Amino acid sequence: MARMFITGSADGLGRATAQALLSDGHEVIVHARSTERLAAVQDLIGRGASAVVGDLADLDQTRAVAEQVNELGRVDAVIHNAGVLSGPQVMPVNIVAPYLLTAVINRPQRLIYLSSDMHHGGRADVAGLDWSGRRATGSYSDSKLFVTTLALAVAGPNQSEENPLGEGGERVHDWVVPLAAWRQSHGEQGGEVNECTRIFEESVENVGAGVMGRNMFGPVRGGAWGDEQWTGWWGDNPPYHYPVFILTHYPRDPVEMEGGTTFRFVTDGIESALEQVREAAGGKTSCFGAAATSLSSTWQRDCWTSLSSTLFQCCSATVLASSTTSGTPRCSLTRSGPSRRPASRTSSTEW
C-alpha cells in the first residue's frame, strides 16, 4: 500500500484518480483550492483520504500545501494534476506550483506531472511571460510545453555513474553539447555556432562562484564520503573554474581541482551556502546548480521569479523539436531575473 498526494483532486482526473487509488487500498491525500471546495471531497475523506487546502495560484498558499503534506508523513508519489485552461493564473498554477511543490515536499519515490499533446502548440520562448499571475501572458499550450521540460529535467531512470542523469537523461543537454562555446569550456575543439550560442555564453558569463546539491556532485545516492576519492562527474579539470559549494550532511575538507575549481562542502544548510557563495563570488554572478529538493523557502521565493532560467536549462532538443516544422531544435529561450538557476536534476523519478 502506497501513500499518494494528488493536486487538484476536487473534480476531473484528479478526483477520478483518488477514487481509483482508494478503491485499490492506497492512502490518498487530496487537495482542494479552498475550504469551500473541501465539500467536493468530503466523500473521499469519508473513505479514508486526508485533505490539504491551498490556492496554487498563490506562492505562500502553495508552500503551505507542501508543508501540510509533509506534516502528514512522507508520500510515495506526488501527482501534479491541478491546472487551469486560461487567464492570468495559467503560469503560476500550471508551472510555478509544480516546481515549488517539488522543491518543498519531502522527496517521494515518484513524481508524476500531467501534461497533454497540447505541448506541441506551445511556444519555446519565455520572453515577456508573467509568472506571478498578475497578467495573462502564456497559453495553456505554453504551460504544457514548460511542464514537460520540467518533468524531463527531473526524470531519467536508473541513475548510475555511467548515466548521471539517468538513462536517456543526457538528452536534456542535446541543445548545448554540440556548441563550440560549450566544447571550448570543456577543453574540446570544434562545434557549432547557432542561435543557442548566445544563451549558453550568457549563462556562464562573469560567474564568480556556484552552489550545487549533493546528488548533482555525486556519487549516486550520496551517503558518507568513505575514502573521499569521489571528486565529481567531470574529471580532473571540471568546467567551473571557480569555487563551488556542495550542500551535504557529511563534512569533508575542500577539494582543489585543476583549472581553478575548488569544491567546498557545506553542512549547515542552504542559507549558509548562499552567504558563502555570494561572498566568494565577489560581486560577480552566483551560479546555482542545486536540485529542487535542496532549496529552502527563501531561495524558492527568489527562484520562482526567474523560472525562465530554470526552463532554459531544462529544455532539450527532444522536447523543443516538437514545436518546429522541420524537426530542427529551436532554442529561443532567454534569461530574466537574477542569475540563480537551479540546474537540471541529476536524479531519476525513482529516487
Cis peptide preceding 329, ω within 30 of 0: no
Give me the pLDDT at residue 153, please: 66
Q: What is the CATH number of the domain that holds 61?
A: 3.40.50.720
Q: Is residue 348 part of a domain?
A: no
Structurally, how many domains does the chain consist of? 2
Residue 342: its pLDDT value, please?
32
Domain span at residue 29 reads 3-154
If asked whether residues 119 and 259 sit together in one domain, one would say: no
Q: Give the model's pLDDT for residue 133.
A: 85
pLDDT score for 219: 83
Statement to judge: residues 43 and 125 lie in one domain = yes
136 shares a domain with 50: yes
Catalytically annotated residue among 99, 113, 144, 242: 144
| Statement to judge: residues 175 and 149 lie in one domain | no
80 and 193, same domain (yes or no): no
Asked about 99 being catalytic, the answer comes back as: no
**Of 111, 131, 154, which one is at a domain's C-terminal end?**
154
In a domain? residue 333: no
Tell me, what's the pLDDT at 173? Answer: 75
Check residue 130 and give its pLDDT.
84
CATH of the domain at 193: 3.40.430.10
pLDDT digits (tens, 9 = 90+) for 183-238: 988 888 999 998 778 878 877 888 899 888 887 888 876 778 887 788 998 889 99
From the candidates 99, 113, 140, 242, give the one annotated as an active-site residue.
140
> For the chain, which residues score pLDDT lower than 70?
152-157, 172, 221, 288-351
Mark whether 173 and 315 lie in a shared domain: yes
Q: Is 242 a catalytic residue?
A: no
280 and 182 part of one domain = yes
Statement to judge: residues 145 and 288 lie in one domain: no
Same domain, 215 and 147: no
